[in-house]
Structure 1
Amino acid sequence: MTRAVKPLHLSHYTATSCIGTGLAPMRTALSAARSGLAPCAFETVDLATWIGEVPDVDRVRLPPDLAHFDCRNNRLAWLGLQQDGFFEAVRAAADRWGPERIGVFLGTSTAGILDTEQAYRRRDPASGALPADYNYQGSHNVFSVADFVRAAAGLHGPAFVVSSACSSSAKVFAAAQRMIATGVVDAAVVGGVDSLCLTTLYGFNSLELTAPQACRPFDAGRKGISIGEAAAFGLLTREPTAADDRIVLLGYGESSDAHHMSSPHPEGRGAHQAMCAALARAGLTADRIDYINLHGTGTPSNDAAEGTAVAALFGDRVAASSTKGATGHTLGAAGGLEAVICAIALNDGLLPANVGLETPDPAIPIRLQRTSEPARLTRVLSNSFGFGGTNASLILAREDA
């Protein structure tokens, strides 16, 4: 039986993606329904696809005492941490509750695998040995990003990384809520960091899932995903840390339908279970949700399955959109990034557009938001569904709701 949970305060949050470094440019892009996607010109990749690249990540320099963590993923994390006073908010939380009482729970799919890819080019031609300056622990190791953030902020609480494909950084919100509820920590840094690499670009291309143009979620002519990268962070606390705290995490839902290694259940069975569990934990019925941030990757099967599940629960009453037409699919960072987008929507009173939508798929009977427009929102649902049927849904709300 799914039990209701006590809401947590999303006391601070920030995100960096191809539509902006920090909240201010992201707000502008979302309000204008502007996409940050562009033709792929990343590293040595030669593919006819579009991507969402964060500019100047490789110009970022880590502090000398954190140099052993140097890789594109952790440079992106460091860039993200510096925005919107987030790093200072984490340090203030550590001063308030103690560094051992702050958890770090993050999501990623490939961590710093780009460093490994580049290191293989520099193998010793005689022995095949990797170069001496290659550091697996600080880069490719999936725990690297949480280890880096904890070290950078001087935290000593529990930390782990979830790598469950595209649901990774949504599931950490659920994990944090459980950890805080059981008294293990008083606050938690949550979110996700995933950076561009050859493995994901060529891998998704080999699965015939990448689109030759900017992705068009839920469009009748959609052809696949546009891969992006992002660093998104939130600070979840038992109680507000400032007088203007306005956003709370009401509930979460998780499921694992294990229908197929890379394809969702055609009826969206796992998606439906995750959304129902989130509603139950939040103590809500479906008619109390004002907006749904859809997983909406732009692939034919994913959008159709999610659309079926959403229609079964909400009909065509609730405004819904995928924001991946703006940011690209940031994989292990998608859940965290889209949670921040939902917080922006709640705080600013904004319905984000389904960027890239030209002709809605007539077989998906949901209410797609074609333009960005103002609206008073009180409760929103965010979906993140990953390979292997690992699914997560989050419900965020204004505290005065």
Structure 2
Amino acid sequence: MVTTTKSPRDALVTGMGFCLPGRGAPTATPGQFWAAVEHGESFLEQDDGTYFGSVPLDFDTVADRLPEIPPRFLEKYSDIHLYGLLALLEACADADLDWRAGALSEAAVLAARNATADTIVDTYLPVLLADTRTISPREARAVLFRNVLGAVMSDVETTQAGLVGSTGPSYTLSCGCASSSVLLGNAARMIAAGEVDVAVVTGADYWRESRLRQYAELEERSVAGTEPQTATLVHQPMRPYDERAAGLNYGNGAATLILESREHADRRKARTYGRVLSQVTARNAQPNLALDLTGAGAARAARSCLEGFATPDEIDYVNGAATGDRAFNAMEGNIVPAIFGERAAALPVTVQEAVFGHSGAPLGVIGAAATFLMMRHGHIAPTANCEKPADVCTFDPVPGTRGRAARIDLALSLNYTIGSVASAVLLGADDD
């Protein structure tokens, strides 16, 4: 067992909530999330045989859960706003924080977005295409309201903070698939510095399936040569770490973690999942959009993240970030031995992307949530859709659907993106 020094300003995770792909209804609660992750169940295959992580929403159900928002306003919210709000509600319920009674009135409300164009395009086009000579005043107001609400990247954070009446720090961060991972570090540092006692971190993103099909067709036309390529898959499943890996399936949704100072959590006798001990962001000096297959930036971020807290030999598990395409698989195959040396071959490294799809900004929160639940249950979840590990796997990807029993005291969660931005988060079990 590894013991780290405890402080009243430790950043403890006390709640988690989701609005992610599921079977017939969104995956919402930690229990539903764990039931899928534990055995690597995938929610990506659609009725027509294509693969995309859809999150269906029922407006009446959402309206019933948010009576504070008049239906005439709520109907103008985009799906991404609703994803973020629903994930927030689930996280508050899980943490037993009554936001209606002001429990988040001074909280930091931080959101991560992957700068996806779909919601912005869907917001701006009606404004640009509106016939100002014939549009009714009511519809003009609706078009303008939707534009104001959703035309900026801070839309999810704005709607969340407004709902809970937060007066604390509130902002949106976008640095690709590492976005919510970086925010976990920012939130932990705010708590350590005494700026806040509670922080809400949400990752949310939205992709329109029809546009992904167009994107996939353009990618097929663009490929030349035999170098590993990132690829969007629509007609076959993603298979991270598998020898048949050919690309990634996208998925929509949101995921939220609530962090509290130990002092605040102890005062209200909150149940805890674990601690966010350290986080570091790094980047290679690569040209824009270039992908460094050596993974040097991610390895540097991980080593810096461990410094002063743990040695590589004390890490029990790594939550990876490979998406299922050959380029990122090869990159992660270089990162793990660069950090762990000869230990890499026996080290369990798994990823949950083939459960919910490659969702962009939520990935950091999803990886951390999955890791904390593995700590709680003493079970390493397998890599979904990995059946035949590829030769590039210099680690144990835990293939299959059963996973394995294991004690996890310390874990690393990695996230990185095209452009070589990388984040490493050190997560620790809390033995109180």
TM-score normalized by structure 1? 0.87
TM-aligned CA distance change 1:149 to 1:40, over 3 Å: farther
TM-aligned CA distance change 1:225 to 1:204, over 3 Å: farther
Residue among 193, 206, 212 paired with 1:201: 212
Q: Does 1:124 align with 2:130?
A: yes
Considering fraction of residues, name the structure with more strand: 1
Match runs of 1:97-136 below 5 Å? 99-100=105-106, 102-110=107-115, 113-114=118-119, 116-117=121-122, 120=125, 123-124=129-130, 132=140, 133-134=142-143, 135-136=146-147
Within 2, Cα distance between the matches of 1:52 and 1:259? 31
Secondary structure of residue in 2 paired with 1:305: helix
Residue among 285, 294, 297 paired with 2:323: 297
Match runs of 1:217-228 below 5 Å? 217-228=240-251
Q: Does 1:71 align with 2:78?
A: yes
TM-aligned CA distance change 1:288 to 1:138, over 3 Å: same
Alpha-carbon distance, 1:192 to partner: 0.9
Match runs of 1:339-358 below 5 Å? 339-358=368-387
Aligned to 2:412: 381
Segments of 5+ residues of structure 1 without an aligned counterpart are: 42-47
Alpha-carbon distance, 1:167 to partner: 0.6
Segments of 5+ residues of structure 2 without an aligned counterpart are: 221-230
Alpha-carbon distance, 1:249 to partner: 0.8
Structure of higher CA gyration radius: 2
Q: Supply the RMSD in Å over aligned alpha carbons.
A: 3.0
Quick check: 2:273–2:373 contact (8 Å CA) kept in 1? Answer: no
Aligned to 2:333: 307
Given residue 174 of structure 1, which amino acid in structure 2 is its aligned partner? G
Aligned to 2:226: none
Aligned to 2:223: none
Alpha-carbon distance, 1:119 to partner: 5.7
Compare 156-165 and 236-245 and name the one that shifted more: 236-245
Aligned to 1:33: 40
Quick check: 2:80–2:205 contact (8 Å CA) kept in 1? Answer: yes
TM-aligned CA distance change 1:325 to 1:49, over 3 Å: same
Alpha-carbon distance, 1:284 to partner: 0.6
Quick check: 1:263–1:302 contact (8 Å CA) kept in 2? Answer: no
Given residue 84 of structure 2, which amino acid in structure 1 is its aligned partner? A
Secondary structure of residue in 1 paired with 2:428: strand
Aligned to 2:155: 144
Aligned to 1:8: 11
User: For 1:40-73, what per-residue CA distance to the aligned partner results, in whole angstroms no more than 9, with x for missing partners?
Assistant: 87xxxxxx95111123265633543563871110
Alpha-carbon distance, 1:264 to partner: 2.4
TM-aligned CA distance change 1:203 to 1:57, over 3 Å: farther
Given residue 316 of structure 1, which amino acid in structure 2 is its aligned partner? A
TM-score normalized by structure 2? 0.81
Secondary structure of residue in 1 paired with 2:147: coil
TM-aligned CA distance change 1:200 to 1:342, over 3 Å: farther
Quick check: 1:345–1:377 contact (8 Å CA) kept in 2? Answer: yes
Within 1, Cα distance between the matches of 2:203 and 2:111? 5
Aligned to 1:51: 52
Quick check: 1:40–1:51 contact (8 Å CA) kept in 2? Answer: no
Within 1, Cα distance between the matches of 2:214 and 2:297? 24
Alpha-carbon distance, 1:170 to partner: 0.6
Alpha-carbon distance, 1:112 to partner: 8.4
Q: Does 1:259 align with 2:286?
A: yes
Residue among 192, 197, 200 paired with 1:186: 197
Within 1, Cα distance between the matches of 2:251 and 2:89? 20
Quick check: 1:73–1:111 contact (8 Å CA) kept in 2? Answer: no
TM-aligned CA distance change 1:180 to 1:244, over 3 Å: closer
